[in-house]
Amino acid sequence: MSTTHHSEYLKLESVYIKPAKNAFVSEAHLESQWDALNYLSQPDFDSSLEEYKAFQNYFADNNIVTPIFPFDETVKIDSIYCRDASIATDFGMIICNMGKGGRKNEPQSQLATYKENNVSVLGIIEAPGTLEGGDVAWLDEKTLAVGHTYRTNMAGISQLKALLEPKEIVIIVVELPHYKGPSDVFHLMSILSPVDKDLAVVYSPLMPIKFRNELLDRGFELIEVPDQEFESMGCNVLAVAPRKCIMVDENPKTKQLLEQAGCEVTAYKGEDISVKGGGGPTCLTRPMLRSY
């Protein structure tokens, strides 16, 4: 079995997660932070634990190893969305520099965990560059798409290119729109989730024409998320194997479209761990190893 980090859709072997109890900590902790971090409303702590237990059990049921990011007093509740603080590559992890001020300590927190577990590190994005993991997605083993957003700036993208282009990785820069502005969480993966080598879930109304055409030219079939399921994160779909995926509940039309395309889809209740904080299953996970 050969393994890779260079994929969003091959069979998932291991994925870092940060359980709700390690990130949300307590009802008082949530109460003190949710508003300043632009959550839709305050997550309920007990409900969050229940939702996360079901979410975590999905990986155990599929024999996926889940190393844990521990509690860290230097980071905030947003650290539950652990994809954003680092990027996995075949050459080692890239430690990000967050564009959201309230998340600035998360990359160093993850770096400490990687060092403790002997995970190799390729490089670290440094100021004035910003780069968040939700803004990058592997299209194939040699192509990484990166969104130019309010969270990921051109200085960060330049550093990403300097790390990966010498290793013959092609970086496609995707210019994303203003949408709701700097305070909103709007990443590339808000509008794109690859679920197979030739299948992706997309929200086309917010997708640049050039990039959408690029996907079509590469042979991708596009699952179009309907308008009414965009805010409920219908576009945020995590593949655990080709055409086998997990998504937030309450997106029945997108789920049906995926199933019609031959996908096996599991939906989880994510009102408190996903919807209120704007982070679906791709955000809640830092995929590491996948296998061919």
Instruction: Please report the pLDDT score of residue 2 as a whole number.
Output: 87
Residue 235's alpha-carbon distances to 15, 30, 50, 232, in angstroms, are 20, 26, 23, 8
Instruction: Please report the pLDDT score of residue 176 as a whole number.
Output: 97
List of residues 6+ apart from 129 with CB closer than 8 A: 97, 153, 155, 156, 157, 158, 159
282 contacts 238 by C-beta, under 8 angstroms: yes
Instruction: Please report the pLDDT score of residue 81 as a whole number.
Output: 98
What's the one-letter identity of residue 291? S
Instruction: Please report the pLDDT score of residue 184 as a whole number.
Output: 85
Helix and strand tally (H, E) in the chain? Answer: 7, 17
Kind of pairing, strands 170-175 and 192-196? unpaired
Does residue 291 fall inside a structural domain? no
Against a cut of 0.75, is the pTM above it?
Answer: yes
The C-alpha atoms of residue 34 and residue 117 are separated, in whole angstroms, by 31
Instruction: Please report the pLDDT score of residue 264 as a whole number.
Output: 98
Instruction: Please report the pLDDT score of residue 88 as a whole number.
Output: 98
Q: Is the pLDDT of residue 188 over 90?
A: yes
Does residue 125 fall inside a structural domain? yes
| Confidence class for position 269, pLDDT limits 50, 70, 90 | very high
The total of structural domains in the chain comes to: 1
Q: Which two tokens stand for residue 67?
A: 């190393």
Does residue 288 fall inside a structural domain? no
Instruction: Please report the pLDDT score of residue 242 as a whole number.
Output: 98
Does residue 274 fall inside a structural domain? yes
Kind of pairing, strands 92-95 and 121-124? parallel
Does residue 226 fall inside a structural domain? yes
Does residue 256 fall inside a structural domain? yes
Instruction: Please report the pLDDT score of residue 262 as a whole number.
Output: 98
Does residue 19 fall inside a structural domain? yes
Does residue 292 fall inside a structural domain? no
| Domain containing residue 188: CATH number | 3.75.10.10
* Residues of the domain holding 108: 3-283
Instruction: Please report the pLDDT score of residue 41 as a whole number.
Output: 97
The C-alpha atoms of residue 119 and residue 108 are separated, in whole angstroms, by 14
Instruction: Please report the pLDDT score of residue 183 as a whole number.
Output: 84
Instruction: Please report the pLDDT score of residue 1 as a whole number.
Output: 76
| Confidence class for position 157, pLDDT limits 50, 70, 90 | very high
| Residue 62: CB atoms within 10 Å | 14
